[in-house]
Amino acid sequence: MIGTLDARIPHGPLDQKWRSHRDHSRLVSPNNRRKFEVIIVGSGLAGGSAAATLGELGYRVKCFCFQDSPRRAHSIAAQGGINAAKNYQNDGDSVYRLFHDTIKGGDFRSREANVYRLAEVANLIIDQCVEQGVPFAREYGGLLANRSFGGAQVSRTFYARGQTGQQLLLGCYQALCRQIDAGTVQMFPYTEMLDLVIADGHAKGIITRCLRSGKIEKHAGDAVVLATGGYGNVFYLSTNARGSNVTATYRAYKKGALFANPSFTQIHPTCIPVSGEHQSKLTLMSESLRNDGRVWVPKRKEDCKKPPAEIPEADRDYYLERKYPSYGNLAPRDISSRAAKEVCDEGRGVGPGGRGVYLDFADAIKRIGEDTIRERYGNLFEVYEKITGEDGYKMPMRIYPAVHYTMGGLWVDYNLMSNVPGLFVIGEANFSDHGANRLGASALMQGLADGYFILPYTLPNYLAGQMGRRPSADSPEFQEAESEVRGRIKKMLDVDGNRSLDSIHRELGLLLWDKCGMSRHAKGLHEALVKIAELREQFWNNVRVLGKDEDFNQSLERAGRVADFLEFAELMCTDALERNESCGAHFREEYQTPDGEALRDDENYAAVFAWEFQGRNGQIVPPKLHHEPLHFETVHLTQRSYK
């Protein structure tokens, strides 16, 4: 059965919606704000900025993160930059253009109203961050510098060296520290959310485990905000931090929150390839390298083992330049990634296991000299050398796509509230703004837009009707959720089998990478669904988790996360199977144009797929699908072409 979802998008012209929505939202007066407790899970750009802003407004905020400090959230690793339509370059940028580029980049699978609002508030973010002391790059005249990024014809990206995420996060962390000092925000580091508590149909609390002591705690609040990031680690190997996980959003899903477009995963084309079976994570090499590097593989399989210098020009296939002459090596992320996979599938990949392509700077060095290349990308060459032990100036780098970002997430309406009243979801954890493919430099924009400038308006609209409705943390709903959490932990420790967590997680990752990665087809997805269920059996019958519950126990932490990934993987494959079209990062091999490009089906699939959990008593049964049709009033749907 299929239900239809209402995103509560305000009426009126696109550029008036947010303003009129703010004008008519309910408010909470200053002296009433301290009567509300807001639970925020996650302290990255979205969670940290929301906690700092709501604290400053006078709400009592409890903010939770699993790291030892909020400053370590994975937002810190973002390199490239943050978009805004300031038009400082006088090159024709506008809010409309930023909106249009973002919605087109997402292959027309996101909401017009949300994306337009994102583009509108982006300028405020830059103002806010500069005022906080974020040391953005500047020109000699002292004004802010910009650079260009994929999917845009203007220079609108603000950056702080290759460490933009770090600097934005530290700005937001410092704002959070100020509120902690002021007593409006209470910080719970080393604390993981293990369940959502729903009372009278509203999200009113969470169950947590302190990772240092193992203590299980109950926290009641007037609203719960999830800002827990993406789930790329379901693939085991990704550019995400080791701790990033799906647990908070997945457990909210199991309590009734809808999970939207879970199969939309961004696979970034330029990462350092896997070097061995013990590799624990993948490292991104900034996309900017493709400005000067040329991507190629040998034309013939036999040449793949030869040193690259011995392969003459005529025997090299510069496949991006060949297939996409107008964009060449700067073709967008989804398309470049698929092209790399294709040549490797043909057996023409290079390096260990044949999963790699060359990124060659020899021509650029000849043209502009090694010094100029060093000036532009020196730090990236150093990172490459540290990890691979190879000198990218002397021989071509090897790169391969890797899982990087997840566009899918919990379903939210225009207010960023899920279908469960009182449960708000912000940042990468929600699904709302990037459609089927995210453009570079817009993840940071979305996280901060949600936390600084959207949630502080939409949350009070909900809270205003909730005065005095916060239940006690000792009420039966909390006790029940706590005992569920305890039962689950005990069950994991009791298995006492022979297989290590990592071996199960690795196997799951390889399976997903193969069947639900850069390209998918129905047969493979069906196979994956069978194998995921088998792996889950393996886990619950044969996993070995040592140590105690009430203790610092890293194996137990990870076991809980892997258990959730093993269920979530099934949801991803189900979603990929249901969407019988190709769009953005979701490439179904059955649906392609004659020349192998993604073939969208706007008539039947211009919609968000939001899944409702149906299992009971530990049983996993197929979830129920809800549709949110996407209405395009302003933009014209076109086939993306980069030829």
Please, which residues bridge with residue 83 across strands? Answer: 157
- The only residue of 9, 137, 210, 368 in contact with another protein, by rule CB under 8 A: 137
Q: Does 49 bind another protein (CB under 8 A)?
A: yes
Neighbouring CB atoms inside 10 A of 159's CB total 22
- The only residue of 278, 366, 616, 636 in contact with another protein, by rule CB under 8 A: 278
Q: Does 130 bind another protein (CB under 8 A)?
A: yes
- Please give the residues from 397 up to 456 whose contact with another protein meets the rule CB under 8 A: 452-453, 456
Minimum distance, C-beta of residue 556 to another protein, in the bound complex (Å): 11
Minimum distance, C-beta of residue 204 to another protein, in the bound complex (Å): 26
Measured between alpha carbons, how far is residue 535 from residues 100, 460, 570 in Å?
42, 44, 11
The span from the CA of 439 to the CA of 266, in Å, is 10
Do 68 and 189 touch, CB atoms closer than 8 A? yes
Q: Does 461 bind another protein (CB under 8 A)?
A: no
Q: Does 641 bind another protein (CB under 8 A)?
A: no
SS3 600: coil
Q: Does 159 bind another protein (CB under 8 A)?
A: no
Minimum distance, C-beta of residue 242 to another protein, in the bound complex (Å): 6
- The only residue of 91, 139, 302, 589 in contact with another protein, by rule CB under 8 A: 139
- Please give the residues from 183 up to 212 whose contact with another protein meets the rule CB under 8 A: 187, 189, 212
Minimum distance, C-beta of residue 132 to another protein, in the bound complex (Å): 5
Minimum distance, C-beta of residue 212 to another protein, in the bound complex (Å): 6
Minimum distance, C-beta of residue 230 to another protein, in the bound complex (Å): 14
Do 176 and 185 touch, CB atoms closer than 8 A? yes
Do 447 and 403 touch, CB atoms closer than 8 A? no
Do 359 and 295 touch, CB atoms closer than 8 A? yes
Output phi, psi for 580, to 5 deg. Answer: -85, 60
Output phi, psi for 149, to 5 deg. Answer: -140, 170
Q: Does 279 bind another protein (CB under 8 A)?
A: yes
- The only residue of 119, 126, 260, 485 in contact with another protein, by rule CB under 8 A: 126
- The only residue of 19, 20, 34, 69 in contact with another protein, by rule CB under 8 A: 69
Minimum distance, C-beta of residue 361 to another protein, in the bound complex (Å): 22
Q: Does 243 bind another protein (CB under 8 A)?
A: yes
Q: Does 19 bind another protein (CB under 8 A)?
A: no
Measured between alpha carbons, how far is residue 34 from residues 10, 187, 374 in Å?
29, 17, 54
Minimum distance, C-beta of residue 478 to another protein, in the bound complex (Å): 27
Point out the catalytic residue in the list 290, 333, 338, 640. Answer: 333
Q: Does 62 bind another protein (CB under 8 A)?
A: no
Q: Does 301 bind another protein (CB under 8 A)?
A: no
DSSP string, 272-339: PPP-STT-----B--GGGGGT-EEEEESSGGGGGS-GGGS-GGGEE-HHHHH-TTTGGG--HHHHHHH
Nearest C-alpha neighbor of 568 from the set 263, 280, 265: 263
- The only residue of 25, 32, 89, 174 in contact with another protein, by rule CB under 8 A: 174
- The only residue of 119, 206, 223, 241 in contact with another protein, by rule CB under 8 A: 241
The span from the CA of 48 to the CA of 224, in Å, is 14
The span from the CA of 631 to the CA of 193, in Å, is 35
The span from the CA of 502 to the CA of 280, in Å, is 10
Query: Which residue is associated with the tokens 């879970």?
Result: 262
- Please give the residues from 360 up to 389 whose contact with another protein meets the rule CB under 8 A: 383, 386-389
Contact region with another protein (CB under 8 A), list: 138-146, 305-313, 415-423, 563-571: 138-146
- The only residue of 555, 592, 599, 625 in contact with another protein, by rule CB under 8 A: 555
Q: Does 546 bind another protein (CB under 8 A)?
A: yes
The terminus-to-terminus CA distance of the chain in angstroms comes to 41
Minimum distance, C-beta of residue 535 to another protein, in the bound complex (Å): 18
Q: Which long-range contacts (CB under 8 A, 24 or more apart) does 324-332 make?
A: 324/642, 324/643, 325/643, 326/642, 326/643, 327/642, 329/290, 329/291, 329/293, 329/294, 329/295, 330/150, 330/290, 330/291, 331/642, 332/105, 332/150, 332/151, 332/437, 332/640, 332/642
Minimum distance, C-beta of residue 371 to another protein, in the bound complex (Å): 20
SS3 391: coil
The span from the CA of 163 to the CA of 261, in Å, is 29
Do 66 and 188 touch, CB atoms closer than 8 A? no
Minimum distance, C-beta of residue 279 to another protein, in the bound complex (Å): 7
- The only residue of 170, 297, 412, 518 in contact with another protein, by rule CB under 8 A: 170
For the CA atoms of the chain, what is the radius of gyration? 24
Q: What is the dihedral of CA 499, 245, 274, 507, to 10 degrees?
A: 30
Q: Does 281 bind another protein (CB under 8 A)?
A: yes
- The only residue of 21, 36, 46, 53 in contact with another protein, by rule CB under 8 A: 53
Tokens of 596: 């192998």
Contact region with another protein (CB under 8 A), list: 158-166, 197-205, 288-296, 429-437: 158-166
- The only residue of 89, 132, 186, 634 in contact with another protein, by rule CB under 8 A: 132
Q: Does 214 bind another protein (CB under 8 A)?
A: no
Whether 333 is catalytic? yes
The span from the CA of 105 to the CA of 89, in Å, is 22
In this complex, which beta carbon is closest to another protein, that of residue 54 or of residue 304?
54
- Please give the residues from 481 up to 520 whose contact with another protein meets the rule CB under 8 A: 500, 502-503
Q: Does 135 bind another protein (CB under 8 A)?
A: yes
In this complex, which beta carbon is closest to another protein, that of residue 131 or of residue 633?
131
Q: Does 552 bind another protein (CB under 8 A)?
A: yes
Residue type, 514: D
Output phi, psi for 397, to 5 deg. Answer: -70, 155
- The only residue of 21, 71, 202, 290 in contact with another protein, by rule CB under 8 A: 71
In this complex, which beta carbon is closest to another protein, that of residue 53 or of residue 102?
53
Q: What is the dihedral of CA 206, 209, 210, 216, to 10 degrees?
A: 90
- The only residue of 9, 144, 495, 625 in contact with another protein, by rule CB under 8 A: 144
In this complex, which beta carbon is closest to another protein, that of residue 198 or of residue 211?
211
Q: Does 604 bind another protein (CB under 8 A)?
A: no
Contact region with another protein (CB under 8 A), list: 26-34, 123-131, 308-316, 423-431: 123-131
In this complex, which beta carbon is closest to another protein, that of residue 178 or of residue 624?
178
Contact region with another protein (CB under 8 A), list: 105-113, 157-165, 191-199, 628-636: 157-165
- Positions annotated as catalytic residues are 333
